[in-house]
Amino acid sequence: MNEFYLQLLFLCCAAFAAGFIDAIVGGGGLIQTPVSLLVLRGHPIANILATVKIPSFCGTAIAARQYLRQVRIHWKLASISCTIAFFAAYGGSLLLTEVSNGFLKPVLLLVLAGVAAYTFGNKGFGQRAARTVPPARQLQVTIAASLIIGFYDGFIGPGTGSFLILAFVAGLGYDFLHASAQAKLTNLATNLGSITLFLLKGKILWSFALPMALCNALGGALGARTAIAKGNRFIRSLFLLVVVGTLIRIAYDVFIAK
């Protein structure tokens, strides 16, 4: 088989799996990004990360559409979150084209360890809406999460959806289903911000990006339907699995693959 088509096969399989996982709990980049870095290792890293933003955007858009049909959205908070996240991701991607992001991995490792420990220890986390968070506090959390996580998504990327869900569950008092719905909209904005920058810089490898986008979208549609059908218990379990998987991956990068 021609090397290009073999690469494309691996990338499309990874994109489908990433779309499925990302639609439910986020973290699809744990699958898509490492596979892309491995398969396309002859290309500059900035070009690879730019390329995976296209399938990520398409898969997230399909998943968001599914959620919007079934889940009630707090549109004021969602619009604020999306606006801030767009510009934060644009800035993060701009920085990515200029510097290395390796120094952030130890910090990310500690953050993920805390996320895993908190989610595992709190059995009721995300199982039902808390509804006790004051509106002013919700606004503060929305702004902070969108700014920090949006910038992170533009700069590095993997795990963004999981971080957004965590922020919306812990900070806004949402259950996992409603947090996932708002996270999809915010993640859509971060992807769009990064894509805008990468388009201006000419970094996207379109021959890989477009087929991956189709596969990611199919995975996203299936994943969103599965999440809505299975409910909060299933989402919590998969969320924890993805966080632990991301933790293992980052630990490998920090301590072994130096």
Query: What is the rounded CA–CA span in Å between residue 37 and residue 11?
Result: 10
Q: How many CB atoms lie within 10 A of CB 76?
A: 12
Helices 3-25 and 45-70: angle between axes, nearest 10 degrees = 40
User: Residue 1: inside a domain, yes or no?
Assistant: no
Compute the average pLDDT of residues 115-123. 61
User: Residue 62: inside a domain, yes or no?
Assistant: yes
DSSP state of 36: H
Average pLDDT, the chain: 82
User: Residue 42: inside a domain, yes or no?
Assistant: yes
User: Residue 183: inside a domain, yes or no?
Assistant: yes
Query: What is the rounded CA–CA span in Å between residue 174 and residue 230?
Result: 17
Compute the average pLDDT of residues 196-204. 95
Asked if the model's pLDDT at residue 231 lies above 80, the reply is no
Model-level pTM greater than 0.85? Answer: no
Query: What is the rounded CA–CA span in Å between residue 141 and residue 211?
Result: 36
User: Residue 103: inside a domain, yes or no?
Assistant: yes
Query: What is the rounded CA–CA span in Å between residue 7 and residue 47?
Result: 16
Compute the average pLDDT of residues 231-249. 69
Domain residues for the domain of 66 are 7-255
Predicted local distance difference test score (pLDDT) of residue 69? 86
Asked if the model's pLDDT at residue 235 lies above 90, the reply is no
User: Residue 87: inside a domain, yes or no?
Assistant: yes
Q: Cite the beta strand spans of the chain per DSSP E.
A: none
User: Residue 134: inside a domain, yes or no?
Assistant: yes
Of 70 and 151, which is predicted with more confidence?
Answer: 151
User: Residue 2: inside a domain, yes or no?
Assistant: no
How many domains does the chain divide into?
Answer: 1
